Amino acid sequence: MLRIDNLEVALDAEAGVVKAIDQLTLAIERGETFALVGESGCGKSMTALALMRLLPENGSVTGGRVLLDGQDIVDLPESGMRRVRGGRVGMIFQEPSTSLNPVMRVGDQIVEAIETHTDLRGAAARAKAIDWMRRVGIPEPERRIDDYPFRMSGGQKQRVMIAMALATEPDFLIADEPTTALDVTIQAQILDLLKDLQREHRMGLLLITHDLAVVSGMAHRVALMYAGQIIEVAPAAEFFARPLHPYARALLRALPAGERRDEPLEAIAGTVPPLWLDFDGCRFAPRCAHAQPRCATTRPAMHDHSATHGVRCLRQEPGAEPMPPDTPLARAAAPVSRTAPAVSEPLLDVQDLRVRFPLRGGLLQRVRGHFDAVDGVSFAVGRGETLALVGESGCGKTTTGKAVVQLLRRVAVTEGRALLGGRNLFDLQGDALVDARRQVQIIFQDPFASLNPRLRVFDLLEEGLVALNRELDAGARRARIERLVDRVGLRRDALARYPHEFSGGQRQRIAIARALAVEPRLIVCDEPTSALDVSVQAQILNLLRELQRELGVSYLFITHNIGVVEYIADRIAVMRRGRIEEQGAAADVLARPQTDYTRSLLAAVPRLAAA
């Protein structure tokens, strides 16, 4: 159905011509799910944008063909491409906050897609939009269809994007991280929906994701990308059972799990190389535990290891010295003790927290009532402890975190107490509040929306130091910032660039560095690894654990990734509809959940087929 032959994409940048995609070749059949995986910045999303002819202004297709049912869409005029885009080929974008029009109601945006690409109009199109909002798990779709995007959580906005893409029932769907912002129950619902649509309409699906467990349960075939090239392609079952490329093996060993909680994850050192370089050898060689001298001087070609399994690696070529099957990568740090600190002396003690948002209506937008987003929540976070706050999207997790960091004073009514070192955060003003902000920081869920697009990365990281660490001079600030970017896996040349020049995962690393800059005692981590691929996630989790060991920092860790919870959490609080449903030691909650809701969350967690 879709065939890509030797596709090449180049971007004009200040550093030179960036070869974002290099000689990419693949084919996807009707009804097939083809997964494209790899690190942030390796070219996955750029591949999707090239297929949809949505490249940025400085980008262009410089070679190759993209055949959709035999028709080369690279050469189509824009008028013809508009009929293909959204109608025959749909796309779910990675960042719903920047893909949805902020001044249009979400229902109008879905209806617009339906009326553009189907015969439905007016009330019929609106009814179909409501039906699709219900099918993707948005509660009260008859009411929420008239909401603006800012009134929805990150997961709900992602569901709107999914509904918009699927409502036109396309022949082919490109899904760029379609479930990244979704909790596990909605993720399972969406993945089941995609499977049903494939069966009904024989829809082809290009799935771009860093969640290898989702790939294992969804994909028929898998292609692994690195630095703009496909380096391994195989049937999904074979890929997970017998990965051939050293990069593939390293990715699978970087996955967090409960049985690895007493040791650091095997993170891959370094980052994806800049693509404006001319490569003389293997692009992965500088990071490869199995590299040989010739790997730095000889470019590997893609060769067939079997009829269905291809790999781009000199160590896998016929006659080459075989790699050791299970040689581990070098450890990033010493094993971390998981002896939980006593919670009898908590760093943060939240008591009966209530957060009420005003509901406005009418011409003058008067307050007509209130909505209780958080209703009587109580929990404690010990010194040097990690409390994981889990639950479905919209249950109040992020609102709880923002209330603790004092980000809702002007938009909501906050009641109860949040004691930090004995001081109630909700009563602080002036210098006392400034001091509290230095002690409590937050890593936001959406890194793009939380970074000022007009500031370079250095200025973004320095901003908090200037405001909250006034004793540091310019030299000390620069030295701390340079150490930070090293620790979160970014090159130092990133300091001179703007947020829009980075991929989603790279922006999240910048956000993490900003929160760490002032050396806080408590960090509210709102989905800090949801935008990261597994190798970078391993680096960040190792970093968070190392900082906790060295500095005694505490984490309120908001996430829907149960694998991460199993690995990092000392205790777990399960939240539902604004209330704490269940809480306790992580091992107890995961092994012996006491409520049906917690059991349903754990049952929906995707697992690797091999496991």
Interval 60-76: pLDDT, tens: 999 999 999 888 998 89
Residues 289 and 394 reside in one and the same domain: no
Q: What is the CATH number of the domain that holds 404?
A: 3.40.50.300
Confidence (pTM): 0.76
Q: Is residue 377 part of a domain?
A: yes
Residues 290 and 390 reside in one and the same domain: no
Sign of CA dihedral 286, 289, 290, 292: positive
Residue 195 has pLDDT above 60, yes or no: yes
Residues 446 and 579 reside in one and the same domain: yes
Q: Is residue 418 part of a domain?
A: yes
Residues 304 and 397 reside in one and the same domain: no
Q: What is the pLDDT of residue 233?
A: 96
What are the start-end ranges of the H helices in 101-169?
A: 106-117, 122-135, 141-144, 154-166
Q: Is residue 241 part of a domain?
A: no
Q: How far apart are CA 298 and CA 340, in angstroms?
A: 50
Please give the tally of structural domains in the chain: 2
Residues 486 and 547 reside in one and the same domain: yes
Residues 350 and 439 reside in one and the same domain: yes
Residues 524 and 416 reside in one and the same domain: yes
pLDDT, mean over the chain = 86
Residues 574 and 492 reside in one and the same domain: yes
In this predicted structure, which of 55-64, 211-220, 244-253, 329-338 has the lowest mean pLDDT?
329-338
In a 13 Å sphere around the CA of 244, the CA atoms on its Cβ side amount to 28
Collapsing DSSP to helix, strand or coil, 211 comes out as coil
Q: What is the pLDDT of residue 609?
A: 60
Q: Is residue 209 part of a domain?
A: no
Please name the residue that has the structure tokens 């900003």. Answer: 514
The range of the structural domain enclosing residue 583 comes to 346-603
Residues 296 and 351 reside in one and the same domain: no
Q: What is the CA radius of gyration of the chain?
A: 24
Q: Is residue 586 part of a domain?
A: yes
Query: Which of residues 316, 334, 354 is at a domain's end?
Result: 316
Q: What is the pLDDT of residue 582?
A: 94
Q: How far apart are CA 181 and CA 531, in angstroms?
A: 8
Residues 404 and 502 reside in one and the same domain: yes
Average pLDDT over residues 217-231: 93
Q: Is residue 221 part of a domain?
A: no
Residues 289 and 414 reside in one and the same domain: no
- Copy the structure tokens of residue 148: 């603006």
Q: What is the pLDDT of residue 143?
A: 93
Q: Is residue 74 part of a domain?
A: no
